[in-house]
Structure 1
Amino acid sequence: LPFFAPGHLIPVVDMAAIFSARGARCTILTTPVNADIIRPAVDRANDSDCHGTDSPSPAVDIFVVPFPDVGLPPGMENLMFLTPAHGAECPLKFIQAVQLLREPFDRFMAANRPDAVVSDSFFSWSADAAAEHGVPRLVFLGSSVFARCCSETMVLNSFHELEPDYVEHFRTTLGRRAWLVGPVALASKDMAKRGRPDNTEAHVTEGCLRWMDRKPAGSVVYVSFGTFTSFSPAELRELARGLDLSGKDFVWVISSGTGTDGSEWMPEGFAELMARGDRGFIIRGWAPQTLILNHHALGGFMTHCGWNSALEAVSAGVPMVTWPRYADQFYNEKLIVEVLKVGVSIGAKDFASPLEGHEVIGGEVIAGSIGRLMGSGEEGDAVRKKAKDLSVKARSAMEKGGSSYGDFGRLMDELMARRSPG
């Protein structure tokens, strides 16, 4: 399953030829235009001299699936056809089409039951899809080992005390270089302006903080899912129900693109609940997240487990209700809930891109997860204590003599030592 760009299609066809030369039958799954691009190379691979067999059936086959209809011009099925003249919308539609290929991929897997799948790294969903069919999946990375090693000599927004075993594994077992210099959010001198777009009025911050000032310590749950996460109307409805059922006061950041009147998603009675103004405060668009997380009234953070949000919560000593959606978020949830034990999982299982649909989680489940985190039971007490302890370590790491302070100094020393004289 190669990505739709020449630098990915061509080496995958060559790879299939090598597999076939060793006696394997290979099928390349692609779309009509891309099939035309690779067909000459596939025909060459099927020459009996290339794969060393006189079998009448081709050793390398092409299985064509329709390119998803997302509103792109006909034939625009390969990245090489996208130019700035097409506008900013076309690349986004192209990415959407890539995500929608999971359904024909699933159908192919069910009908053909291959022994293994080699899929491009850009098809991130293919790992889960292959696993669901019980088929091993190998990822094709269209880069050199050198480039991969360079990309994995990283400056990381983390700190040693947060994940010491994995720092050791990364550096010693994998042999990769890394400098942990975080949590970098703690370096900000003005949390009120951190990350705030120029067109955002200060009254958003002032109104929210004034509302929180009237609340008891640890009583408010903050709900925010980052910049790119979207929810269906059905999901929003259940989330609103869950917040209502939890009995907790809440600050909820809703995407600015979500309908303002709530007619598509607001459950019965929720508009009246918000109109009273005592239980909830809704922010549309950007929110002063670091200020909210560090407010005395905050008792929990419902998050998508994006790494920036997770680190900001750790720095503030705030425990989390975890609701991952895509990318690295499910890995981060494992760290937060099972390793660090500073969070409670809401039970999300389906990995999907921002452009795909998700399973709807019921309001009762959402309310129950908030209750487990912020209630007076042993589980909540333990999670909150660990979160506070980890916050102390995070702040210490950034101070003079701390682990991140020292790592940053060593990085600077090494970079300065490499400077050419003069």
Structure 2
Amino acid sequence: MANMQRPIKVLMLPWLAHGHISPYLELAKRLSTRNFHVYFCSTPVNLSSIKPKISEKYSSCVELVELHLPSLPDLPPHYHTTKGLPPHLMNTLKVAFDMASPGFSDIVKSLGPDLLIHDFLQPWAAEVAKSHGLPSVVFFSVGAGTLSFMFHMIKNTSIEFPFKAIRLHDYEQAKLTDMIDDSTGSVSNKDRCLQCVERSSNFILLKTFRELDGKYMDYLSSLLGKIVVPVGPLVEVPSNIEDGDGIIEWLDEREESSTIFVSFGTEYFLNEKEREEIAYGLELSNVNFIWVIRFPVGESIELEEALPEGFFGRVRDRGLVIDGWAPQGMILEHPSIGGFVSHCGWSSIMESMKSGVPIIAIPMQFDQPLNARMVKDVGVGLEVKRNKNGELERSEIAKVIKDVVVEKDGDG
């Protein structure tokens, strides 16, 4: 009889970043196997990139719904995503997203869902839901350690965070404070978060699991006065449609655990100095590597120009440098991979842990320094220390790579 019940209709609205859209889509897939029909709402440019990831198994229960942002002079439709977005346009994108509220209201009215699951940057989504008599829940695609640290900062500025493993250096603290206080359309990120939590039904959803994050979940619950519900690591299953044959063949020729994968996510673009130090660090380590480098959309730089002179010649027998994209899930699952040089986005950490690959942490922005401390604390990797000015140094990069891959210090 249970199978005869009407499916529960859920509308999902993630922030317009791949690192948010991907876990929302994975949650949608899991819900669809439990008598939920999911309407997945985002901009056309984002939906076109995830459409191939919805296999026939899910296509009848996960329905894509286009949200059209207003056309702003600096923000044509191909910029209605953070992927490849020039950093100076980030606030413009947030403004355009806020301006899509009336269109989203029309979507809610026409679909008549039973529940809205939304991200933490758009409190207006919960207000729209409320105006239609629709309950809403906020889903944070980050871990409880990081989130509890941030809310502790917001609510208890003068009291020390109770878990000593998670700490920030002064230069990181200043950046995080600036990010939390940063305003778009007169509303700070801090207030956006607080409003989303306040308007969420009596619980919030988190991309984590209790075995990893239990003590932080309990502290976060006490801070927010909400039940914290973990929905699991939500790691995407590598797809056969991903084009990585040449890369996998290259890895097949390497010894087991002899190679590192280097990637800094879809939204961080290394500056010239960072590229240089990482390149020389890889060279000094004498370890095999696959390095994915990304540039903002519209910025055309040849890889040979972007990296130190002669670099390709010196590492050609043991290094593969890729411009733009590589099948991360497939690469991390390969037996030749012995380490992951990562920016420590939460999804990348979950993926690396699932694949049993130790992490060489080089956090860059946002929540990543906090995630990097978690990586070290739970014993799944080591962090590259920066100098007193917060800069990367090639010798330290090489040292940590060798510690993890050659000495296996990060193998847990």
If the length of structure 1 is used for normalisation, what is the TM-score?
A: 0.52
The residue type paired with residue 73 of structure 2 is H
Name the residue aligned to 1:335: 374
1:266 maps onto 2:317 in alignment: no
Deviation (angstroms), 1:218 = 0.6
Q: Structure 1 residues 140, 333: CA separation in 2 closer, same or farther (over 3 Å shift)? A: closer
Q: Is the contact between residue 387 and residue 393 of structure 2 (CA under 8 Å) also seen in structure 1?
A: no
Task: Specify which of 168, 174, 179 is matched with residue 128 of structure 1.
Answer: 174
Q: 1:344 to 1:264 in 2, by over 3 A?
A: same
What does the per-residue CA deviation read over 1:169-190, in whole Å, with 9 as the maximum and x for residues that have no partner? 223564322221222115x3x4
- Corresponding letter in the other structure for 1:368: K
Mapped to 1, the partners of 2:223 and 2:194 lie a distance apart of: 17
1:148-202 superposed Cα distances (whole Å, 9 cap, x missing partner)? 334593322211111221122223564322221222115x3x4344xx6xxxxx2
Partner residue, 1:165: 215
| CA 213–234 in structure 1, closer or farther in 2 if over 3 Å, else same | same
In the alignment, the residues of structure 1 paired with residue 194 and residue 72 of structure 2 have an alpha-carbon distance, to the nearest angstrom, of 34
Q: CA distance change for structure 1 residues 264 and 172 in 2, over 3 Å: closer, same or farther?
A: same
Distance 1:319 1:175 in 2: 35
Which of 237, 247, 261 pairs up with 1:222? 261
Q: 1:293 aligns with which of 313, 328, 332?
A: 332
1:191 corresponds to which of 217, 239, 242: 239
SS at match of 1:184: coil
1:63-142 → structure 2 map (5 Å cutoff): 84-88=71-75, 93=88, 95=90, 128=174, 141-142=190-191
Residues 366 and 259 (structure 1 numbering): CA distance in 2 closer, same or farther, change over 3 Å? farther
The code of the aligned residue for 1:84 comes to: S
Q: 1:213, CA displacement in angstroms?
A: 0.7
1:207 aligns with 2:246: yes
SS of alignment partner, residue 267 of structure 1 = coil
Tell me which amino acid in the other structure corresponds to 1:304.
H
Please report how far the alpha carbon of residue 349 of structure 1 lies from its aligned counterpart in structure 2 after TM superposition.
7.4
The 3 A distance-change label for structure 1 pair 326 and 130 is: closer
Q: Distance in 1 between matches of 2:300 and 2:280?
A: 17
- 1:366 aligned onto 2:407: no
Match of 2:11?
A: none
Q: Answer whether contact 1:192 1:288 (CA < 8 A) is retained.
A: no
- CA deviations on 1:348-378 (whole Å, 9 max, x unpaired) are 479xxxxxxx9542221211110111122xx
Which 5+ residue runs of structure 2 have no aligned equivalent?
1-68, 81-86, 93-153, 155-170, 179-187
> Percent sequence identity over matched residues?
29
Which of 323, 343, 346 is residue 304 of structure 1 equivalent to? 343
| Partner SS state of residue 185, structure 1 | coil
Secondary structure of the structure 2 residue equivalent to 1:313: helix
Q: Which residue of 2 aligns with 1:345?
A: 383
In the comparison of the two structures, how many residue pairs are matched?
248
Distance 1:85 1:140 in 2: 22
Provide closer, same or farther for how the CA distance between residues 140 and 310 of structure 1 changes in structure 2, counting only shifts above 3 A: closer
Aligned in 2, Cα 1:309/1:172: closer, same or farther, shift over 3 Å? same
With over 3 angstroms needed to count, the CA separation of the structure-2 counterparts of 1:349 and 1:295, relative to structure 1, is same
- Alignment correspondent of 2:198: 149
CA, structure 1 residues 259+370, in 2 after alignment: closer, same or farther (shift >3 Å)?
farther
Q: C-alpha displacement at 1:311, in angstroms?
A: 0.6
Name the SS of the counterpart of 1:228 in structure 2: coil
Distance in 2, matches of 1:229 and 1:268, equals: 23
| Offset of residue 147 of structure 1 | 3.9
**Paired position in structure 2 for 1:282:** 321
* Alpha-carbon contact 1:273-1:279 (below 8 Å) kept: no
Q: Cα–Cα, structure 1 residues 142 and 131, in superposed 2: closer, same or farther, change >3 Å? A: closer
Does residue 240 (structure 1) correspond to residue 247 (structure 2)? The answer is: no
Question: In 2, distance between residues paired with 1:131 and 1:349?
Answer: 21
Could you say what secondary structure the match of 1:163 adopts? helix
Alpha-carbon distance change, 157 to 216 in structure 1, aligned in 2, over 3 angstroms: same
Q: Secondary structure at the match of 1:250?
A: strand
- Where in structure 1 are there 5+ consecutive unaligned residues? 1-81, 98-117, 119-124, 133-138, 197-201, 351-357, 387-422
Deviation at 1:215, TM superposition (A): 0.8
State the secondary structure of the residue aligned to 2:278. helix
Contact 2:265 2:345 in 1 (8 A): yes
Q: Secondary structure at the match of 2:212?
A: coil
Q: What is the letter of the counterpart of residue 174 of structure 2?
A: D
- Residue 21 of structure 1 is matched in structure 2 by none
Taking a change above 3 Å as real, the CA distance of residues 173 and 209 of structure 1, as seen in their structure-2 partners, is same
CA separation of 1:85/1:96 partners in 2, compared to 1, >3 Å: closer, same or farther? Answer: closer
Distance 2:172 2:400 in 1: 30
Q: C-alpha distance in 2, partners of 1:263/1:283?
A: 11
Cα distance in 1 between the residues matched to 2:328 and 2:260: 12
Task: Deviation per CA, 1:9-65: give whole Å up to 9, x if none.
Answer: xxxxxxxxxxxxxxxxxxxxxxxxxxxxxxxxxxxxxxxxxxxxxxxxxxxxxxxxx
CA distance in 2: counterparts of 1:181 and 1:156, whole angstroms: 6
